[in-house]
Amino acid sequence: MVGLVGPARQGLYDPRNEHDACGVGFIAHIKNRKSHGIVADGIRILLNLAHRGAVSADPLAGDGAGILLQLPDKLFRAEAKRLGFALPPTGGYGVGMMFLPRNAATRAACEEALTHFIAAEGQRLLGWRDVPVDSAVLGDSIRPIEPVIRQVFIARGANCPDVDAFERKLFVIRKQTHLRIRAQGMPEQSAFYIASLSARTIIYKGMVIPERLALYYRDLNDKRLESALALVHARFSTNTFPSWELAHPFRYLAHNGEINTLRGNINWMMARRRSMSSELLGDDLAKLWPLIGDGNSDSATLDNCLELLIAGGYSLSHALMLLIPEAWAGNELMDPARRAFYEYHAALMEPWDGPAALAFTDGRQIGATLDRNGLRPARFMVTRDDLVIMASEAGVLDVPEARILRKWRLEPGKMLLIDLKKGAIVSDEEIKAELARANPYKTWLGRTQIQLEELPEVPAAAP
């Protein structure tokens, strides 16, 4: 993120004292059947969460709303053909959703920086697309800071044997571009931000009220825009000031709540920078810093950390168990293997604690998890026609009772996960039992831990 996101610390005001509560939800087809109907239902969920988002004195100026979808291949393939370039097969290209400065010279510098790193990292620029928007639906106070919104299309290079490797390269390209632009400096009202850059997902978001998101982004009404999942968010931005960049969803998650331990989490992540290594990222790891702690919101910072773990080879569920652990210490009722898993990982990563409900996806799996205290609501239902609907409250979609197979609430520390590739819901017990038994964590703890109470007594030294 580059640009102005709110006032700096001044007088009695300190932005660290801000707090938030938002609306979050998703709908997904368990069997991964893509349709525009899923997108339309996602937008309906967002509309029914509108009361959770904040609105300023300008009734059309919202704190932010957005939707995260699978990459709509049908739409993008047709648009690329119209614009004069061809897309490789699915998985062979990625798309970036870009917020760019209105100033032409500054915008050109941003695009040039991105183009440089695309080539430097062995990928190929295919083309650009101006995202069709209707600026008339924005509030009068928002229009002056509306960015130019463009999509960039990138072909997978020969140095990326699969989509996972390509995702890592796109991550490295995006971070380096942001760091280059930040180092160059910009006028205060200029903004450069890559909302998403992926071969699997795309994000449409901004400083609009939920009712106007689909009016602003014309793509969202295009029948060619198809997805098997839609993750939505209505923001109440009391953790940081409203901005285009900090609207949710982020690249992997949308968040309702706050991370109370944020300052400590940032400090620990920065402290362990020199001791980090990754077989998958290799030398690319050094290109990512500073990774976090650059004035982002708590949610954006958590997303950055989650993104690093996934790029380093952790699965989505494994990474979230590290970041948002259950209440395991002293829990004698917990399976010993699972408790050993949490105890081992507690030495690697501090919990990102606070009242939090997280909805997350990487385009292949989608789910939600609740903090160990369970202080944020999360309700879900499963229908007989293979849909899962989750939101920060019940009733976000009208579903006849005859269609409902199961409905319940997410419990403290628990996880709901839908694996679209397998076409199945994976239970909390199954996720955690599989991960807990993947490695001999109890044995590793026995080799590496020193218990203070087991140390031999040493006579007190003479005064």
Of 187, 191, 226, nearest to 207 by C-alpha is 191
Task: Give the count of alpha carbons within 13 A of 357, CB side only.
Answer: 25
Dump the DSSP string for 205-268: EESS-GGGHHHHBGGGG-TT--BSEEEEEE----SS---STTPSP-SSEEEEE--TTHHHHHHH
How far is 250 from 259, CA to CA, in rounded Å? 15
Q: In this structure, what token pair is assigned to residue 42?
A: 């996602």
Terminal CA-CA length for the chain: 57
Q: Is 382 helix (H, G, I), strand (E, B) or coil?
A: strand
Q: Is 85 helix (H, G, I), strand (E, B) or coil?
A: coil
How far is 246 from 300, CA to CA, in rounded Å? 7
Let me know if 22 is a catalytic residue. yes
Of 413, 449, 434, nearest to 318 by C-alpha is 434
- Whether 79 and 222 have beta carbons less than 8 Å apart is answered as no
How far is 360 from 28, CA to CA, in rounded Å? 12
Task: Give the count of alpha carbons within 13 A of 188, CB side only.
Answer: 3
- Whether 253 and 201 have beta carbons less than 8 Å apart is answered as no
Q: Is 410 helix (H, G, I), strand (E, B) or coil?
A: coil
User: How many angstroms separate the Cα of 364 from the Cα of each of 30, 238, 262, 423?
Assistant: 10, 31, 28, 10
| Cβ-based neighbours of 152, under 8 Å, separated by 6 or more | 95, 96, 98, 114, 125, 127, 128, 129, 197
Q: Running DSSP on this structure, what letter comes out for residue 147?
A: P
Max CA pair span of the chain: 86
Query: In this structure, are strands 404-409 and 387-391 parallel, antiparallel, or unpaired?
Result: unpaired
Residues classed as catalytic: 22
